Chain A
């Protein structure tokens, strides 16, 4: 006869199981809610009207293209700044900095990661935006680039913190072997340590950039929120409007059940799909089967 685990243990097991399943349930519920509120928009506004370039919802102009491209350009700009800076800082802290400096830098970065984004937004309005306007002689400092800089500021601590952990987990023997065959410190970092920590570094980049796609407050404060199509060469230096800022600023006053309300939820669905795509790509890269040579090495 199979021996039963004691009661408290069974309760704990069930509890943990329930917590695990509930997260799946919540995601499904959110998805259901998004679709039930957002899907009517597709029937109320013809697709060709949704795919126009004018967003002015109080007069029933529901062109979402400028919002979509606005979000993409800000996030792309942030990724271009945050990935080299974040991974670079992680490499510096893990591989180059002396022990005492590491002890100071790592906690500092962790504090930065918990910095509220609305405070970053204030810094953006008071310092970054006027600074950019004067330095680059722009008509206004409330631009996509300002948003990208702040988003990079939000993404960098996440990237540094996780990537540094990943680099730290690379066994010391790898580096010693590399030095032993005469590789310089730079060759070791670039050719051995970084590739060995690849999946962790990639995860860091995706979590960091993922945080910046969904970030709202700081972006809403500094990008100017003008729904312009970012197609000209100077788009990065012009105001734009993101999807998150649109939802945040308009959802509060919109009449429940109106076309505008449904279109805002449709934008929510698009955001959901984008982050889903990013996450699936990340999982596929991180969990892909290692090559034979890599298996032997590790």
Chain B
């Protein structure tokens, strides 16, 4: 999310040379801790604030106010010739952890499964590991199967999925090209199986998605308010799409 915050800050400062915004990375916990300590005006976080963090903030005289500034969704993709249209989270987890090795085990053709993933340094990789492979359970220590291909770029993944009928891959919804087939995903084997789109991500029905937040101390005013108002404008949300995230629709907060 640091890339998004940096891109916003850069674009905003170009338009408003009198406003200075400095952005530091380090993870959601770092940002929220800095807000609690009163050292930053805005904390960016790719998860909601925890109740113990909120308590700590109040004890420190800080009132965290939440803004949803963008959304992040991961699409699971296969080759257009693959007859599979939908999978459950459990099935995707079993594919990537190496329990399922042939498409025929899922009702597809008799082909070996080639697993594609982003490199371990990508935020998408970590989010996919936690949300899909480990199904959101903290104590779950499932790892990617050793023969998972780790590709350095989104293009690498889409190029291989486009050509290779054995492949399965995943990537941020904004990076998906029309030449690959996006799978519908369900939490429950009984359904509903949901296709990822700006609408299903925004109404929360697509399971592999999350909100991206900004937190301020109390209702923002002055330059801070101007910045947060600018962020939900179409122009700032266009940056969201460029970076492979999903823009928020309609009014927020």
Contact = CB atoms under 8 A, between A and B. Distances in A.
A198 interface: no
Contacts of B146: 53-54, 66, 226-228
A249 B148 contact: no
A59 B143 contact: yes
**Leading 6 A-B pairs by shortest Cβ distance:** A253-B121, A224-B149, A139-B112, A225-B150, A140-B114, A130-B163
Nearest to B26: A255
Interface string A133-146: 10000011110000
Nearest to A255: B26
A129 B166 CA distance: 14
Contacts of A220: 152
Contacts of B151: 142, 224-225
Interface of A: 53-54, 56-59, 66, 125-126, 129-130, 133, 139-142, 220-221, 224-228, 238-239, 241, 245, 249-250, 252-254
A129 B160 CA distance: 9
A125 B166 contact: no
B159 interface: yes
Given A220-B152, A253-B121, A254-B121, A228 B159 contact: no
26 contacts: A53-B146, A57-B120, A58-B120, A66-B146, A125-B156, A125-B159, A129-B163, A133-B163, A133-B164, A139-B114, A140-B114, A140-B149, A140-B166, A141-B164, A224-B151, A225-B150, A225-B151, A226-B147, A226-B148, A227-B146, A227-B150, A239-B147, A249-B150, A250-B120, A252-B121, A253-B121
A221 B121 contact: no
Contacts of B85: none
A98 to B, nearest CB: 42
A10 B73 CA distance: 68
Interface residues of B, number: 23
B152 A56 contact: no
Interface in B152-168: 152, 156, 159-160, 163-164, 166-167
Contact of A225 (B119, B143, B164): B119
Given A142-B149, A225-B151, A239-B147, A250 B119 contact: yes
Nearest to B144: A56
Contacts of B119: 225, 249-250
Contacts of A56: 120, 143-144
Nearest to B119: A249
Nearest to B121: A253
A130 B166 CA distance: 12
B34 interface: no
B163 A249 contact: no
B238 interface: no
Nearest to B101: A139
- Residue among A241, A245, A252, A253 with most chain B CB within 10 A: A253
Nearest to B146: A228
A140 B126 contact: no
A225 B149 CA distance: 6
B159 A126 contact: yes
Contacts of B126: 58
Contacts of A239: 147, 149
B147 A221 contact: no
A256 B120 CA distance: 16
B51 to A, nearest CB: 27
Contacts of B152: 220-221, 225, 245, 249
A141 B120 CA distance: 21
Contacts of B166: 139-140
A226 B149 CA distance: 5
